[in-house]
Structure 1
Amino acid sequence: MPRFLCAVLAVILTVLVDRAVEAADAGPLPADLKAQIFRYLDSADTDEATRTLQSMLSDPDVTIDQAVRIIQTERVYPPQPTGTLPAERIDVRGRAYHLALFIPLTYQPAKEYGLVVCLHGAGFTGEAYLERWQARLGGEYVLVCPTVPMGAWFTRGAEEVVLATIRSVQRRYHIDPDRIFLTGMSNGGIGVWVIGMHHAPLFAGLAPMASGLDDVLLPFLANLRSTPVYIIHGAKDEVMPVELSRSITNELTKLGYPFVYREHDREHPMAGGHYFPKEELPELVHWFNAQRRNPLPTTVTVVREASHLQPFGWVRIDATDPIAAFSEDLISKRDDLIKRREYARLDASIVGPNRIEVQVDRVQRYSIFLNEQLIDSSKPLVVLTNGQVSFEGVVTSSLETLLRQARLRQDSRQLFPIHLAIQVRKQP
């Protein structure tokens, strides 16, 4: 047999053996562990979740790899209602909110679907937006339109409703976590900006319409480094002047971030230029179809005020110098810290194999969350903060870290068994 052919056969045999070994190592997953993991992730009872977690951590046979495989591949979606569901509800902090949903009639639990979350304007409800959207989304998206009083999407309560809505739909229907979109009109568009900027790693894209931002919020646009935006605004809008969107696009241009800006001249007989022309929908849906979230970008930028110190992708600001703090409706307070836009900022980049460089401003302590897709945990890791080495060594993976972060984030594509806490040295 020719040497070349022998070499080819040897390579093929090696690959087949390696795959067989990997399959053997993976093995079947224990059914009771699957039940425990999803009970822990889904339980609204904190005590039950704690007991379930301790049970898993006390079992020496439970591994990180098993938990990752279960979370990413083993969730079962039972049959659910399809079609138009205009009168669903969700409870947030003891208060009921209405949801209107459209589930494709061809929905199959084994298939992943995109999710479009639509926020209504003042004087409307979520149900009012169903008809316009459902005919144009086709069979590839689940549509959910929550309702909050007065369309006040810029409040902390409304922010919680949006996040709870997404999680509720994800548990019932098979949603692709890399194809979640947030869109809204007028007040709903303001909510898209405010919620989307604070929770940018959750979304594949944002689509605000006929809306804008107060200038004290413009620094938070930096959070959209990996979250593209599609903006629609009427040139003749007298309710939300078009200059609001123009100023935002100027800021996004300075940042070098991706966005699409559609400015139209159409007018509605009743609303004038302050409306969303149905003619704009096909291009927007086409844009949705082209977007996929990158759940683990190698560069992350996060700007925070004091009331939003939750994880942002694989980083989290934990403690800061005195900075601005928003009130319950997020922007009503106008103290000097807000007027001066005194926020904390962190920029983190994985610049090479197992080397992370971080720049911070007004940050005293922060966390990095890692997995094997971001680093090689068997080799030393170097972290530099403002040019100084703040960590050098081998990191440790933890099943507890993985599970706690999985419950907190509810995102099967952002699983982190490594948590590194960094204290920022004061500059001399």
Structure 2
Amino acid sequence: MAFAASLSAQAPVDPLFDTFFAAETPAEAQTAAEQLVVAGVDFDRTYARLKKGRVYGDEKRGEYSLRWKSKSGPFFNNIVEVPAAYDPAKPTQLRVQLHGGVGRPSPNPPARGDQSSGVSATARTPNRIEGEQQIYLHPSGWAAAQWWDEEQIDNILRAVDTLKRKYNIDESRIYLTGISDGGTGVYYMALKEPALWSSYLPLNGSIAVIRGPQNGADGEMYGNNLMNVPLYIVNGELDNLYPVDQVEPHIKWFQSMGVPLVFRPQPGAGHNTAWWPTEREPYEKFVREHARVTHPAKLSWETERTDKFNRNRWLIINELRPDASRETELKDRGFFQHLKLSGRVDVTRDGNTFDAKVRDVAAFTLLLSPDAVDFSKPVTVMVNGNPAFSGTVKKDPATLLRWAARDNDRTALYGAELRIAP
């Protein structure tokens, strides 16, 4: 009887959950989330529904485009490839691949066989390297929407979100790769929007391209943002743009910060992908071995903005301020040029205890997931060695649904926001 009553009580919200899962955008999902909160949904049942996720239909296979207009006028033309064997009942890996030659004046791809972008004359479309059976997304970039432009980041994230709402994509296996300028774009994404990606594989690129403001990269870069970024880096010995001897100092810099990486210099190789037949197996192995760690126990993030590019998974920087008593351990390691005030938080989690080192940050937020935190026990937060919070935190359906609407991720569900103002 009690079970039947429970089912009856939940029945009216089933259509609301259907609307939530059918949403085509985060904004539509947020509207549905608000309706669920008004309906008084229970946290644990809602968590279970979100964890299970939507039922995926039999969507289109083959190649097609996701298109929407850019601020400069031309349309983003994001090419999607879905294998014929795609099974909506099984989570599927997604490769996002960024092409080279992003400085061209229009979004139209270069001519087939354009060797400047490292593509053979027999390639079906530019800059594509044969891979395993998975879903592929090939975003489009050009001079007004380069891989290191804010609008381009929005385009890529929008395209991935759109695919996740249609196809059963494995959230733990969405990885980013790119060739030439595309490889440089991989570095930029890692430094600005890391929450989505399982691994990063820049091929024939260089982080030096986005080193200084004169190169047109939006925002400032901070090396410590790479600390949770698994990198697989390939460069050619005789590359006329980014040869191995120019890239090796960057590798040493990464290693000095503890960035997890594999570097695969290619003897005798130029600015092309002639090495792919022999490099493909270790490349694919790296991807397989690096599923995304959704709730890492340690995070580091630095930003000069609080409206955007201020989040790394469960850590958000909300407010900046110059701090007269700076945390001396959080020093800049050079390489990038900085013109603006930035704030940094390094935080570790051990059970329900968070230990944060903070510099020039007035407030930050910890997103607490039932998969990482025991809500039945007190949560403790230390900031620069001083107590900042101690107490129990209540699971909140509104918070759960708000972040689920935004992130569209069955594996990263947050039951509470804990704002810390040290």
TM-score by length of 2: 0.80
**Match of residue 250 from structure 1:** 252
Residue-pair matches, total? 380
- What secondary structure, in the 3-state scheme, does the structure 1 residue paired with 2:195 have? helix
| Separation (CA, whole Å) in 2 of partners of 1:299 and 1:160 | 26
Once the two structures are aligned, what percentage of the paired residues are identical? 23
Q: What SS is found at the alignment partner of 1:97?
A: strand
Q: SS of 1:369's equivalent? A: strand
Q: Does 1:118 align with 2:118?
A: no
Measured after TM superposition, the shift of residue 286 of structure 1 is 2.2
Deviation at 1:414, TM superposition (A): 1.1
Q: Which moved more, 1:239-248 or 1:157-166?
A: 239-248
Residue 331 of structure 1 corresponds to none
1:198 maps to which residue?
A: 192
- Which residue in the other structure is 2:239 paired with? 237
Change (3 A) 1:266 1:346: same
Q: Which amino acid aligns with 2:67?
A: R
Sort the Cα spacing of 1:142 and 1:45 in 2 relative to 1 into closer, same or farther, 3 A: closer
CA contact (8 A) 1:218 1:251 kept: no
Instruction: Show CA shifts across 1:350-402 (max 9, x none).
Output: 13x32110111111110011022222212221100111101111112111111
Give the deviation of 1:132 after TM superposition: 8.3
Which residue number corresponds to residue 65 of structure 1?
44
The whole-number CA distance in structure 2 between the counterparts of 1:230 and 1:171 is 28
Residue 232 of structure 1 deviates from its aligned partner by 0.6
Report if the CA contact (8 A) 1:371-1:416 is conserved: yes
* Among 344, 364, 369, the residue aligned to 2:367: 369
**Structure 2 unaligned residues grouped into runs of 5+:** 113-122, 213-218, 324-335
Q: CA deviation digits over 1:3-29, x for unaligned, max 9?
A: xxxxxxxxxxxxxxxxxx9x9999799
Quick one: distance in 2 between partners of 1:74 and 1:135? 32
1:213 aligns with 2:207: yes
1:299 Cα shift? Answer: 1.0
Cα distance change of structure 1 residues 28 and 237 upon mapping to structure 2, 3 Å threshold: farther
Tell me if 1:36 matches 2:16.
Answer: yes
Could you tell me which residue of structure 1 aligns to residue 342 of structure 2?
A: 343
Distance 1:44 1:144, change over 3 A: closer
Task: Determine helix, strand or coil for the equivalent of 2:173.
Answer: strand
Please say if residues 34 and 74 of structure 1, whose CA atoms lie closer than 8 Å, have aligned partners that are also in contact: no
One-letter code of the match for 1:89?
Answer: R
Is 1:301 aligned to residue 293 of structure 2?
no
Quick one: distance in 2 between partners of 1:25 and 1:294?
39
What is aligned with 2:327? none
Q: 2:85 is matched with which residue?
A: 106
Counterpart selection for 1:395 from 393, 396, 402: 393
2:67 aligned with 1:89, yes or no? yes
Q: Which has the higher helix share?
A: 1
Q: In 2, Cα distance between the equivalents of 1:383 and 1:50?
A: 30
Task: For 1:37 and 1:24, locate their aligned partners in 2 and report how far apart those are by CA, in whole Å.
Answer: 20
Given that residues 203 and 234 in structure 2 are in contact (C-alpha distance below 8 angstroms), is that contact kept between their aligned partners in structure 1? yes
- Residues 163 and 354 (structure 1), Cα distance of their counterparts in 2 relative to 1, 3 Å cut: same
CA deviation profile, 1:58-79 (whole Å, cap 9, x unmatched): 223x111222222221411111
Q: Which has the larger radius of gyration?
A: 1
Aligned equivalent of 1:17 = none
Q: Show the counterpart of 2:326.
A: none
